[in-house]
């Protein structure tokens, strides 16, 4: 479908609202790439999935969607030869645990939401990998029990550290008078004593560093060199053993790589699905029936961006007629009617629930063509009429039985007589091709055409002549008026002008002009 259609019908704004309910990068990516589907069976399944997910939410049974925090980097590194870190395995372990919870949750709700459960059926528990990570890693650190060798090394290391610290405490007590402060420091992985520079010769040892002021030197006493060397050796052994453990876990992760990727993919689908369901709850959405024959029957429908601020719309087309001509005063809701029908169609074909009463029906279209507003004409320095003509040409290039055409203010921007004639010819051609068409207009000639032509029907936006207020209700089967004279009279236009206007309208502009010339 034309991106202009999405823009004119606020489809991209709906996607932005939907994005707020996605929890993961994959869910957001699916929303970003979402476009309306065109196969009825695919749309039906998607709507049913969203409806089932919505019912789970309404029952207080929201699915425990696993977090994908840190998982994107893991997927990028999987299979690259990279050895995953302790932090990576903490993220992996938490993800696998959450996947197990999600699988169990969906199995327990399989009867209530069979379509939603099917994605969990393709997920994997991976209990062996999960158990091994839990045995080796906790809170981002490798446990002593990860291997017998690691436990042995760490015990030796703890003993060596204790001996070294005891010796350091003794040395610190001995050199207290020449120390800059009573504090044991570290430099380059070695324990050192902060000695006043002028007393450095009183301590037998090596200077490893100096303070910025030059008043303090950091010395490693000779008496702890051997102990430091032993500790450094044990640290290297520990690091080697930890790398061995991480390498073994990484190899196990690689063996389960495909299953892990599948789990991540399914979680992204669940995030997308429940984001749609949450949005459906917000807007009071329902799952509509689908027609493959161009039939639309919207009951108590509302534009999702207006909600309860909009008077509910009842819109029918595609039964006795497939072209609807909507008339009525300005700001009476004609354009909003077109946008609501178009947007709800896009939403339903995207698997989104729509704000309409149960039993509503929407048709499935392969394309939705719109001519609403003149923003594009301004961008390209075209007149309003030229923009309309260009849009009409694009519509006529491909319009067929599977096309929904929405045209706002038909026949405007040029000579009324020629504009009406051109509009009627376009409407006849769209009718011949079998397209489903809804247009708005102020011209009586187009209303009269719709009254007489087969496959056409008139509709009007209701208006209260007493208060001059539009009622925003669509009444199908009746042509509307613009109420220009009544509105002008109510606003204080001189009575003589109003009366003369009625005479001119009755006689016709051309006849009135001829009379003026004769006089």
Both 270 and 371 in one domain: the answer is: no
Task: Find how far residue 238's CA is from the centre of its chain.
Answer: 46
DSSP letters for 77-91: HTTTTPPPPHHHHHH
Distance CA 114, CA 108 (A): 10
Both 329 and 433 in one domain: the answer is: yes
| CATH code at position 122 | 1.10.1420.10
Both 47 and 195 in one domain: the answer is: no
Both 321 and 415 in one domain: the answer is: yes
pLDDT of 509: 46
Return the bridge partners of 185, or none.
192
Token pair, residue 276, equals 């749609």
Q: Domain for residue 498, yes or no?
A: no
Distance CA 239, CA 142 (A): 11
**What is the DSSP-derived secondary structure letter of residue 441?**
-
Enclosing H/E stretch for 472: strand 469-476
pLDDT of 482: 61
Q: Domain for residue 93, yes or no?
A: yes
Relative orientation angle of helices 509-518 and 495-507, to the nearest 10 degrees: 100
Q: Domain for residue 133, yes or no?
A: no
Query: Length of the chain, please?
Result: 519
Task: Determine the structural domain holding residue 352 and report its residue range.
Answer: 289-482
Residue 323 CB partners (closer than 8 Å, separation 6+): 317, 427, 430, 431, 436, 437, 438, 439, 450, 455, 456, 457
> β-strand 323-327 against 456-464: which pairing, if any?
parallel
> β-strand 436-440 against 141-142: which pairing, if any?
unpaired
Q: Domain for residue 132, yes or no?
A: no
Distance CA 53, CA 59 (A): 10
| CATH code at position 313 | 3.40.50.300
Both 361 and 306 in one domain: the answer is: yes
Q: Domain for residue 237, yes or no?
A: no
Quickly count: other Cβ atoms within 10 Å of residue 428's Cβ.
15
Both 8 and 79 in one domain: the answer is: yes
C-alpha gyration radius of the chain: 38
Distance CA 482, CA 398 (A): 33
Return the bridge partners of 289, or none.
361
DSSP letters for 130-191: HHHHHHHEETTEE-GGG-HHHHHHHHHHHHHHHHHHHHHHHHHHHTGGGBSSS--EEETTEE
Relative orientation angle of helices 40-58 and 114-121, to the nearest 10 degrees: 100
The answer to whether 167 and 231 have CB atoms below 8 angstroms apart is no
Distance CA 20, CA 13 (A): 11
pLDDT of 478: 83
pLDDT of 425: 95
pLDDT of 383: 66
pLDDT of 484: 74
Enclosing H/E stretch for 460: strand 456-464
Distance CA 108, CA 90 (A): 27
The answer to whether 442 and 421 have CB atoms below 8 angstroms apart is no
Enclosing H/E stretch for 420: helix 416-433
Both 43 and 13 in one domain: the answer is: yes
Both 74 and 95 in one domain: the answer is: yes
Q: Domain for residue 515, yes or no?
A: no
pLDDT of 379: 44
Both 364 and 294 in one domain: the answer is: yes
Quickly count: other Cβ atoms within 10 Å of residue 302's Cβ.
22
Collapsing DSSP to helix, strand or coil, 293 comes out as: coil
Both 311 and 443 in one domain: the answer is: yes
Distance CA 252, CA 92 (A): 12
Both 179 and 68 in one domain: the answer is: no
Collapsing DSSP to helix, strand or coil, 339 comes out as: helix
The answer to whether 270 and 63 have CB atoms below 8 angstroms apart is yes
240: left (phi over 0), alpha (psi -120 to 50) or beta: alpha
Residues 462-494: b if buried by 16+ CB within 10 A, e if exposed: bbeeeeeebebbbbeeebbbbbebbeebeeeee
Residue of 452, 466, 220, 469 whose CA lies nearest to 328: 469
Distance CA 75, CA 366 (A): 36
Q: Domain for residue 503, yes or no?
A: no
Token pair, residue 465, equals 């002549």
Q: Domain for residue 167, yes or no?
A: yes
Residue whose pair of structure tokens reads 């004769």 in the numeric block: 518
| Residue 33 burial (10 A CB sphere; 0-12, 13-18, 19+) | exposed
Q: How many domains does the chain have?
A: 3
Residue of 287, 307, 360 whose CA lies nearest to 53: 287
Distance CA 227, CA 343 (A): 76
Instruction: List per-residue pLDDT tens for the chain, 519 residues long.
Output: 888 899 999 999 999 999 999 999 999 999 999 999 999 999 999 999 999 999 999 988 788 999 999 999 999 999 999 999 999 999 999 999 999 999 999 999 999 999 999 999 999 999 999 999 999 999 999 999 999 999 999 999 999 999 999 999 999 999 999 999 988 899 988 999 999 999 999 999 999 999 999 999 999 999 999 999 999 999 999 999 999 999 999 999 999 999 999 999 999 999 999 999 999 999 999 999 999 899 999 999 999 999 888 999 999 999 899 999 999 877 778 999 999 999 999 999 999 999 999 999 999 999 999 999 744 344 444 567 788 888 899 999 999 999 999 999 886 777 778 889 999 999 999 999 999 999 999 888 999 999 999 999 999 988 777 776 778 899 998 876 666 777 777 778 898 898 888 887 776 544 433 443 344
Token pair, residue 293, equals 């024959």
Both 396 and 462 in one domain: the answer is: yes
């Amino acid at each position: 479908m034309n991106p202009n259609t999405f823009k004119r019908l606020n489809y991209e704004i709906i996607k932005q609202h939907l994005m707020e309910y996605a929890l993961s990068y994959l869910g957001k990516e699916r929303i970003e790439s979402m476009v309306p589907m065109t196969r009825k069976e695919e749309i039906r399944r998607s709507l049913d999935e969203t409806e089932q997910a919505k019912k789970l939410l309404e029952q207080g049974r929201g699915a425990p969607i696993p977090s994908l925090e840190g998982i994107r980097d893991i997927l990028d590194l999987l299979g690259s030869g990279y050895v995953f870190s302790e932090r990576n395995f903490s993220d992996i372990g938490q993800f696998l645990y959450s996947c197990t919870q999600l699988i169990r949750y969906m199995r327990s709700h399989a009867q209530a939401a069979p379509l939603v459960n099917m994605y969990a059926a393709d997920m994997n528990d991976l209990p062996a990998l999960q158990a091994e990570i839990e045995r080796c890693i906790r809170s981002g650190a490798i446990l002593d029990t990860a291997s017998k060798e690691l436990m042995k090394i760490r015990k030796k290391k703890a003993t060596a550290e204790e001996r070294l610290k005891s010796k350091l405490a003794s040395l610190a007590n001995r050199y207290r008078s020449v120390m800059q402060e009573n504090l044991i420091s570290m430099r380059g992985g070695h324990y050192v004593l902060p000695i006043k520079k002028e007393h450095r010769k009183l301590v037998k040892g090596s200077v490893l560093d100096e303070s910025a002021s030059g008043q303090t030197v950091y010395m490693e006493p000779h008496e702890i060199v051997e102990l430091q060397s032993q500790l450094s050796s044990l640290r290297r052994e520990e690091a080697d053993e930890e790398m061995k453990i991480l390498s073994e876990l990484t190899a196990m992760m690689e063996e389960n790589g495909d299953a892990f990727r599948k789990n991540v993919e399914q979680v992204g689908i669940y995030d997308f699905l429940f984001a749609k369901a949450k949005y459906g709850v917000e807007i009071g959405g329902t799952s509509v029936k689908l027609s493959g024959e161009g039939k639309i029957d919207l009951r108590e429908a509302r534009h999702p961006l207006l909600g309860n601020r909009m008077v509910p719309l009842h819109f029918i087309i595609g039964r006795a007629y497939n072209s609807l001509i909507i008339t009525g005063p300005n700001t009476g809701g004609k354009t909003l009617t077109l946008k609501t029908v178009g947007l709800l169609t896009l939403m339903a074909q995207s698997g989104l629930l729509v704000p309409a009463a149960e039993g509503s029906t929407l048709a499935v279209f392969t394309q939705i063509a719109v001519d609403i507003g003149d923003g594009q004409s301004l961008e390209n320095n075209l007149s309003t009429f030229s923009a309309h003509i260009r849009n009409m040409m694009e519509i006529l290039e491909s319009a067929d039985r599977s096309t929904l055409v929405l045209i706002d203010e038909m026949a405007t921007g040029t000579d009324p007589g020629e504009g009406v004639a051109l509009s009627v010819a376009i409407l006849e051609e769209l009718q011949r091709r079998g397209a489903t068409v809804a247009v708005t207009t102020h011209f009586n000639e187009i209303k009269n055409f719709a009254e007489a032509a087969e496959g056409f029907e008139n509709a009007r936006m209701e208006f209260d002549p007493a208060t001059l207020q539009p009622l925003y209700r669509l009444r199908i089967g009746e042509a509307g008026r613009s109420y220009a004279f009544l509105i002008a009279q109510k606003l204080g236009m001189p009575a003589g002008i109003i009366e003369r206007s009625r005479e001119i309208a009755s006689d016709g502009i051309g006849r009135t002009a001829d009379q003026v010339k004769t006089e």
